[in-house]
Chains A and B, each alone.
Chain A
Amino acid sequence: MDIDGSASTDGKPLAAPPAPAPSLRLPIESSHVMMFARSLGEQIDGPQEVAARDIPVTFPVALAHFDPDYELRPHPARAWFGSGSTPGRPRTSSEPRTRLHAEQHFEYHRRVRPGEVLTATRRAGNVWEKTSSRGGVLTFTESFTDFTDDEGNPVLTSRSVSVYLPLAEEQKR
């Protein structure tokens, strides 16, 4: 998973970003924060301890739970691609290239406390290409999620960068 797209760069933005997705809501709920913090190895005996501290910085990724269309969660109405009686199957996608999560960033405009419910609005960022050290073209896509409170004030912003591997490298994997 070595992302070595730094040999040379064009850095020129490519196609225009797509239309924004509908907003989602992220409850900052103590029990959920507790379980998230425990998954990071933190010692928390109960949800009551969550109130006295900042939420884990990366907790906003749990927005996935509140996205009704999130692809990496089993849905009753959809066949899951993981193993059962068979090994499972590759994820279906119209995109033939492999997509890797390259970067993730969080910027907090103020502290977040349990009990709040934040509104999350996604927006596309830039798309750019770089030439890898192996000579293939890496395509980077950037996206943002803006989290606001009930008054519309900015609370935090997350930025995600994905990289699409060139087909030539995909065939070598």
Chain B
Amino acid sequence: MSLVEVGQKDEVTLVEDLKRTQIVQYAGASGDYNPLHTDERYAVEVGGYPGVFAHGMLTAGLTASAVQQRFAGNFVTRFGGRFIAQVWPGDTLVAEMEVTAVDSGPGGTSREISITTRNQTGAVVYAATATVVTDDAG
């Protein structure tokens, strides 16, 4: 689906059946070694959770990466979001993107994108917005 004009939407699968190993990869790359995300015994017996869960910033990173790939070649000048619900191993995440504004000028075209990330039950886990700039006339 095209994401050029206001109101256009598209869906992207961010991850299917999230693996604990990917959470460990993210911990190592990001530097966040909070054991709630990688240490099952700690998460359950000390944290009181059913098990480890993903970093909120992993969900944010997956969503941002999808925006960058969806708009490959363009410049994501702004990205940010709000963490709404936890993401667990086994989750499948899908991001719905919608163009909410388009501003064309001499320097190029700027698009505002609204992104809603949901898990396999349809529950919203993360909500974000992004600004994507192209250096052509649109």
Contacts and interface: CB of A to CB of B under 8 A. Distances in A.
Interface of A: 1-3, 32, 35-42, 54, 56-58, 61-65, 70, 72-74, 81-83, 87-90, 100-108, 111, 159, 173
A70 B28 CA distance: 14
B60 to A, nearest CB: 6
Nearest to B75: A111
A3 B83 contact: yes
Most buried by A among B15, B26, B29, B68: B29
B85 interface: yes
Given A40-B26, A41-B14, A64 B80 contact: no
Interface stretch (B1-9, B40-48, B99-107): B40-48
A111 to B, nearest CB: 6
A107 B32 contact: no
Contacts of A56: 61, 64-65, 68
Contact of B35 (A36, A41, A82, A159): A82
B31 interface: yes
A106 B78 contact: yes
Contacts of A83: 35, 39, 41-42, 45-46
B79 A106 contact: yes
B65 A64 contact: no
Contact of A106 (B29, B80, B82): B80
A38 B85 CA distance: 24
Contact of A104 (B76, B80, B84, B85): B80
Contacts of A38: 25, 29
A88 B42 contact: yes
Given A40-B65, A64-B31, A107-B77, 6 more contacts: A39-B29, A56-B64, A61-B32, A88-B42, A88-B45, A103-B80
A159 B67 CA distance: 19
Contacts of B67: 57
B51 interface: no
Most buried by A among B33, B45, B48, B85: B33
B78 A108 contact: yes
Given A88-B46, A108-B76, A62 B65 contact: no
A5 B134 CA distance: 36
25 contacts: A36-B30, A37-B65, A39-B22, A40-B61, A42-B69, A56-B65, A57-B61, A57-B65, A57-B76, A58-B79, A61-B32, A74-B33, A82-B39, A83-B39, A87-B44, A88-B39, A88-B41, A102-B83, A103-B83, A104-B56, A104-B57, A106-B78, A106-B79, A106-B80, A107-B77
